[in-house]
Amino acid sequence: MNFPLNPDLHCHSTTSDGTLTPEELAARAAANGVDLWALTDHDEVGGQQRAIDAAQAHGIRYLTGVEISVTFADATVHIVGLGFDHTDPRMAEGLADTRDGRGPRAVEMGEQLAKVGIHGAYEGALKYVGNPRLISRTHFARFLVDSGVCRDTPEVFRKYLTEGKPGFVPHRWARLGDAVQWITQSGGLAVIAHPARYNFSPNLEYALFSEFKQHGGQGVEVVTGSHSAAEALRYADMAREFGLAASRGSDFHSPDESHIDLGKLPPLPDGLTPVWQLLAGRVH
Ligand code: AMP
Ligand code: MN
Ligand code: MN
Ligand code: MN
């Protein structure tokens, strides 16, 4: 593989909580100069074949992708999988189990919001769902913004959808070791997504990185839409310390919501092994 100049290995389509289809994302990635792309929908690989075909139609290289929700130390951590076989039945089964509780959780979120005077939020959120197997907090956020309850999605999360707030329903996701295993068993490489977002203590963060490594995880997102320049440098150091390869992805969800567009990211800091170097044989 020629060295990609502008890889973007993290984004979401209507198959999870993005607002663009896989085909629209491929067109946008190509227009923005992305030359190696991965669609990483939450807990779902249903968009992968469409993304492979659309990438090919636009002449851009593609790695399969997924972002798996994991519960680690009572917090939610996201693990990105890249370059796996998207038809692998063990991956499909693991993701189906992980998605399973989303429906009942969403109903309960609606009930809790009704108790603070916001009625019809579950039915409202459902109207924004592109994939009936995947209702997420993002769909509630879109409903609460469009119906005028909040000004923007950050305000929704701040006031209603994060721990301790009225619409937050705790949920148990996949185990770290299982998620890493689904990815590696199907030929892929596991990556800790946006590590700066977890607000772990230094001890817990060390535990996450060490356990992830022990389970066979090989990468960490260093450059992502939600990392500052200082955070990118900090996780570049962590990548070197733990012997992890580095990834780069915008985490783009929507032209109206995401402040970082596909492919509009700074380069990886120097002196790192990029994940795409380890995935050369897995590119479509
Ligand atoms: P869920 O998987 O249903 O818990 O929803 C998680 C999704 O909500 C994430 O993937 C983000 O897209 C979105 N999200 C989480 N926290 C925030 C936040 N503070 N502001 C905006 N979006 C957020
Ligand atoms: Mn999301
Ligand atoms: Mn995430
Ligand atoms: Mn994401």
Q: Cβ < 6 Å from ligand 1: which residues?
A: 17, 42, 69, 136-138, 153-154, 157, 253
Which residue of 138, 224, 226, 258 sits with most ligand 1 atoms within 8 Å of its CB, as the best mutation to test the pocket?
138
Q: What does residue 128 show for φ and ψ, rounded to 5 degrees?
A: -95, -5
Give pLDDT tens digits for 33-56.
999 999 999 999 999 999 999 999
Give pLDDT tens digits for 237-269.
999 999 999 999 999 999 999 889 999 999 999
Give the whole-angstrom CA distance, residue 183 versus residue 220.
Answer: 14
What is the distance in A from the centroid of ligand 4 to the CA of 221?
Answer: 11
Give pLDDT tens digits for 60-111.
999 999 999 999 999 999 999 999 999 999 999 999 999 999 999 999 999 9
How many residues does this entry show for the chain? 284
Query: Would you state the structure tokens that stand for residue 280, as one six-digit string?
Result: 């050369």
Q: Between helices 102-115 and 137-146, what is the axis angle to 10°?
A: 40
Q: Give the atom of ligand 1 at the shortest distance from the alpha carbon of 105.
A: 3
What is the distance in A from the centroid of ligand 1 to the CA of 44?
Answer: 16
Type and span of the H or E element at 207: helix 202-214
